[in-house]
Amino acid sequence: MSKMIGILTSGGDSPGLNAAIRGIGKALLGRYGMKVIGFRDGFRGMMENRTQLLDSEALSGILTLGGTILGTSRDKPYAMPVAGKTRDMTDVIVGNYRKHHLDALVCLGGGGTQKNAYHLMKQGLNVITLPKTIDNDVAMTDVSFGYDTALGIATEAIDRLHSTAHSHHRILVLELMGNKAGWLALGAGIAGGADVILIPEIPYDVKKVAAAILRRSHSGQGFSIVAMAEGAMSRQVVAKLDEASKKDKGNKKKEKKQQAQEVAAGNKPGNSQYLAQQLEELTGLESRLTILGYLQRGGTPSAGDRLLATRLGTACADLIHNGEFGVMVAARGDGFEAVPLKDVVGRRRTVPLDHYWIESARSVHTCFGD
């Protein structure tokens, strides 16, 4: 009897998911004679037993499609909203794995998905994962698919902002995604030639940012582009959050209240609107904000992401054939590495402060606000 493999996509969608589904599916079907089904909408669909056959017809023509043909959700097996209550649905999910006589489950997703997959692995399922996220923050892999496409879109946005910023002699703040990591703002900021790059890893001083913009202005450059990661924080906000968490050690409720107050005061991490206002006040230059938002995740995957997703997908099929489970198929150089899930979960790949991209940006006079 041929082996049966399940696939699901979970977390925020990312360009390259369909290329990965196609790579895994085609290799499993064609090379190893296995059968493949997809679960709709991540772990929720697996819990509700909503499936879709992934035969060669279903896998054809999807390489260049954005999003995920399987749909996705952020639901967790052990904390799923069901009939108005959050419930642990792990047993139901394990039951559906058995019902379909699965030999393995492939989970495509970011940090949260790796954690959920690890949880199912501990229940005895043969689980294997791929790293997907535009944030590029999955630990233990060189890169995640989705990042390259988002990088291209964010860079094009900076290119386009240049001409309007230049014409109006304005400061243009561009807020980019990335969650708590600065890869997207840093990469696009360098590639697009942003004058200021603000990332969560380097808390900024707004006065230093304003001074850098004024220096440009006095030297005849009447405009400035600020690429800001959504998770970037000013030094004051970092200090306040540190103080609050010290005071309320172990008191999560109070910490959350403090954060809510920060948000209400327009002083939350990544509040780009507040930053744009502050810069206008401090420099006397007109300032405008653009939030690129979901455009960064939508549409056709780049050639780089199609290639990455395909090579990790086919490697995943080979690992399944070899019976290697409980691992994430990480990108390593031009190839791949099977990394145990226990080494991936609970870690975030942020930008190291000694990363050469930061050094390189400083060499071309980019300000980090530090």
CB of 181 vs ligand F6P, minimal distance in Å: 9
- Collapse the DSSP code of 196 into the 3-class scheme (helix H, G, I; strand E, B; otherwise coil) and give the result: strand
Which region, judged by CB under 6 A, interacts with ligand F6P, from 130-138, 248-256, 342-350, 355-363?
Answer: 130-138
CB nearer ligand F6P, residue 111 or residue 203: 111
Per CB under 6 A, does 133 bind ligand F6P? yes
DSSP 86-147: EE--HHHHHHHHHHTT-SEEEEEESHHHHHHHHHHHTTT--EEEEEB-TT--BTTSS--BTH
Write out the two tokens for 366: 């980019």
Residue 202 pairs in a beta bridge with: none
Per CB under 6 A, does 297 bind ligand F6P? yes
From candidates 24, 104, 105, 134, binder to ligand F6P by CB under 6 A: 134
CB nearer ligand F6P, residue 6 or residue 146: 146
CB nearer ligand F6P, residue 12 or residue 77: 12
User: What b/e sequence results for 129-155 when a residue is b if at least 16 CB atoms lie within 10 Å of its CB, and e otherwise?
Assistant: bbbbbbbbbbbbbebbbbbbbbbbbbb
Measured CA distances, 33 to 2, 103, 239, 325 (Å): 7, 13, 57, 19
From candidates 27, 37, 177, 237, binder to ligand F6P by CB under 6 A: 177
Would you state the torsion angle of the CA atoms of residues 172, 177, 178, 184, taken in this order, to the nearest 10 degrees?
Answer: -50
Q: Beta 104-109 vs 171-176: how paired, if at all?
A: unpaired
Residue 228 pairs in a beta bridge with: 175, 198
CB of 34 vs ligand F6P, minimal distance in Å: 30
CB of 188 vs ligand F6P, minimal distance in Å: 13
- Collapse the DSSP code of 67 into the 3-class scheme (helix H, G, I; strand E, B; otherwise coil) and give the result: coil
CB of 293 vs ligand F6P, minimal distance in Å: 9
Which of 13, 75, 135, 305 is labelled catalytic? 135
Per CB under 6 A, does 38 bind ligand F6P? no
CB of 219 vs ligand F6P, minimal distance in Å: 35
Amino acid identity at 221: Q
Per CB under 6 A, does 17 bind ligand F6P? no
- Footprint (CB under 6 A) of ligand F6P, residues 215-234: 230
Which region, judged by CB under 6 A, interacts with ligand F6P, from 177-185, 191-199, 278-286, 327-335?
Answer: 177-185
- Collapse the DSSP code of 197 into the 3-class scheme (helix H, G, I; strand E, B; otherwise coil) and give the result: strand
Which region, judged by CB under 6 A, interacts with ligand F6P, from 172-180, 219-227, 329-337, 343-351?
Answer: 172-180
From candidates 6, 12, 109, 187, binder to ligand F6P by CB under 6 A: 12
Cβ within 8 Å of residue 145, ≥6 positions away: 14, 15, 16, 17, 19, 20, 130, 131, 132, 301, 305, 308, 309, 312
Write out the two tokens for 247: 């005071």
Give the H or E element holding residue 331.
Answer: strand 327-332
> The tokens 């502050």 sit on which residue?
278
CB nearer ligand F6P, residue 74 or residue 168: 74
From candidates 10, 90, 129, 179, binder to ligand F6P by CB under 6 A: 179
Write out the two tokens for 270: 């990544």
- Footprint (CB under 6 A) of ligand F6P, residues 135-164: 135
Measured CA distances, 138 to 12, 27, 112, 183, 255 (Å): 13, 25, 9, 11, 26
CB of 162 vs ligand F6P, minimal distance in Å: 24
Judged by CB under 6 A, how many residues of this single chain contact ligand F6P? 11
CB nearer ligand F6P, residue 6 or residue 192: 192
Confirm whether 135 is a catalytic residue: yes
Residue nearest ligand F6P, Cβ-based: 177
Per CB under 6 A, does 349 bind ligand F6P? no
Query: Catalytic residue numbers?
Result: 135
Interface with ligand F6P (CB under 6 A)? 12, 74, 110, 133-135, 177-179, 230, 297
